[in-house]
Structure 1
Amino acid sequence: MKVKNKGWKCIFLLSFLCLCLFLQPNPVLSSTLINREEYLRIVDTQNPTLLALVKQAKAKFSEVQSLVAHQRLAINLQTENIVFTGSNKNEQTLSLNVLQKIDIAGKYLPEEEYYLIEYEKSIFQYKDEKNKILAQAEKAFWEAAWAKENVELQKNILYERLELLKVAQEKYKQGMVPELDVIRASTQVEESRSFLTEAEAFFQNALTSMNVLATNQHLNMIPETALSSLSISTSSVLSVNSSTIELILANRDDLNILNLTLRQLELSRILAAKGLSPMLEASLGYVALTDSEQKESLEGDIRLSLVMTVPIIDGQKSKLQQKQYEELIQSTHYNIQAKETSIYQEVVEAQNDWEKSLALEKSRKQQLDQSTRELAITRLMYQEGMGNQLDLLRAQVENQRVQTEYLAAIRDVYKSLAELKRVAGGYSHPESGPDKES
């Protein structure tokens, strides 16, 4: 009886596990269809890298405020205890002091500007990373949209080849075709199954890339856009001329960071030149309590102190620093020129790729129309017994290739547009890039 009870327990446990697996939500059924605009909005607001950069910018602003705090007024409550060793006496004094360093050399303004530039650079770093991540996200979106439609394409091709296999088997039974036709049709079916398996795996990988960019939480977003249903417009092509290049350069945040770095070096040179400048410190004190023998004259007294410090020799530190910053300024000028040249090259190449993708899409569309008509005629001739199987198989393979290339051409159009928008700084500065809608 114990053995039987154990057997029933095992059966019950297995049934419970099967029920749990059956009730587990299907990831495909729990997925969310999403369009491009909504997806980019989620990436913009929930991407962990961008959120981290926002926090860093806020922290940098607090840091700037703390670094210039020494320029402000300071108030101290001071206690003083004096011990006279000869007479074995001591005096205690409690006073309130107001301190202010007076910038007679003009250091405070360039120093404050230097630190504020650090904050501005953190903002531009955020915008530059946003431009890159949103471009990467849009490319991932179109890659996933293409992979989704490619899965449907491979399913349709598999269905067509299964139908062809049925026709070949029926004709073989009637003695109308040799067994070789059935074998060829079966081979084509298995090949289509393998293509479908590869397409489904690629689709899952594309969805993973797309979802990882969007959020640090688990989501299963799927593009709702069908590539083949989109109408492609050429209105977004940029015209590379002096005005557009100037606009793009002004909105490329990586270049803006270099320009700010140049300004910081110029300020550092100014501050280095003031290295031997005098500093005046003013102090206003009020003696609140004291037990000194001169209590009547000290208590309630207000004391004003002015201390001027004049550096005389600093081991040529100021002079050497000025020379250092001169060299760094020249180096940064060259870096800016190199970056501007690189951006110009990126823009020209991105525009060429965009125009090439448009031309290829148009060509692939014409090839697809011709191949589809050829396949329909060849299939009809085979079904009517007027054509051979080899011609049909060749037409099917060619049509599959053309359909796949056409979908890829549409995908490449939108990915090249995303790259064109990135090099123009269009994701962080929409006014400098191509139109959002294509």
Structure 2
Amino acid sequence: MTITQPDLSVFETLESEVRSYCRGWPTVFDRASGSHLYDEDGHAYLDFFSGAGALNYGHNNPVLKRALLDYLERDGIAHGLDMSTTAKRAFLETFRDVVLRPRGLDHKVMFPGPTGTNAVEAALKLARKVKGRESIISFTNAFHGMSLGALAVTGNAFKRAGAGIPLVHGTPMPFDDYLDGQIPDFIWFERLLDDAGSGLNTPAAVIVETVQGEGGVNVARPEWLRGLADLCRRHDMLLIVDDIQMGCGRTGPFFSFEEAGIVPDIVTLSKSIGGYGLPLALTLFRPELDIWEPGEHNGTFRGNNPAFVTASAALDTYWTDGQMEKQTLSRGEQTEAALRSIAAEHAHAGAGFRGRGLVWGLTFEDTERAAAVCRRAFELGLLVETSGPESEVVKLLPALTVTPEELDEGLRVLARAVRETD
């Protein structure tokens, strides 16, 4: 594919230097459908990025689009703060009947604001309010958002430095296999909890991702997650699972923690819960934790009614018969096989891979290789991004609705990009 560099003058002269993704993909996108984006010159790009996980059902999914257009055309409520609306009622009933009840969950639903970091801030605030303590435990290479409370439990040094002030009341512990299996799980964590001289204030909660997407596609073992849940119970700490990127079916089941058989006290959801890419976030928690006073945590955009519509349509369409989970796991096996072949071909470069469901990471000994692969993939018409503290991992997040043929095409392009950057 020959790509003509677009006229980016307005972006370069008017938009802030903070812009990021557009630097790696220097074109101007115009439209999108399913697993493809098209730039203004008509070039097609296969999308293995999916809005950083916000587009699990693809771009402009026709079922969700129809539901949204019908709602807007009848002048449905577009903005309603936390007022009761027919769209919110439909979503709550659908979420209860399709997601919560079949999994034996009785969690309350809170709409904290439109983004994932809003959901995390509400979770942290509620945990501290319930327990009457300030300290929160997080994990190495975690990513939980860009607002101050979420940054305090995020591991990435570059992102933390952007806060400009001390980030306090958060303590990191080693994530699963952080020490390469040399030390038993949680031995350091539990020793600090048991030792009155450790300097660790008794935590209110522990926040964890079952798969650290931004941290480098680090996958926690089910037994490690079960051990963490047990540790939280024994030490009177709430367990918060951040399922913002890995929830809504990304790893196979609707919630990424289902495989481990644990029930978190608090769960955060965002990104693909809205179905269509519209902003929506949820903080879920056990009923006995619902000690909020009315209006104690609020926000102008905490109830996005158009997103309620597309979210309900997504749940009704994809999560009532168990087929989406089976399809995702099947596509995951297809991806794993291709990545295994790529890693074997490039064993001399220390290539490796890891992942679950439809989130995968391709790694190399040379930490700059991932960025080169992503650049070449873009030139070949494939969108993939890097992740990890040094951007050392090629991360794959194709839509859950990707066809086997599209997936195979993208994986072939990825293999070529790796080969041509060798």
Question: Does TM, normalized by the shorter one, top 0.5?
Answer: no
TM-score using structure 2 length:
0.20
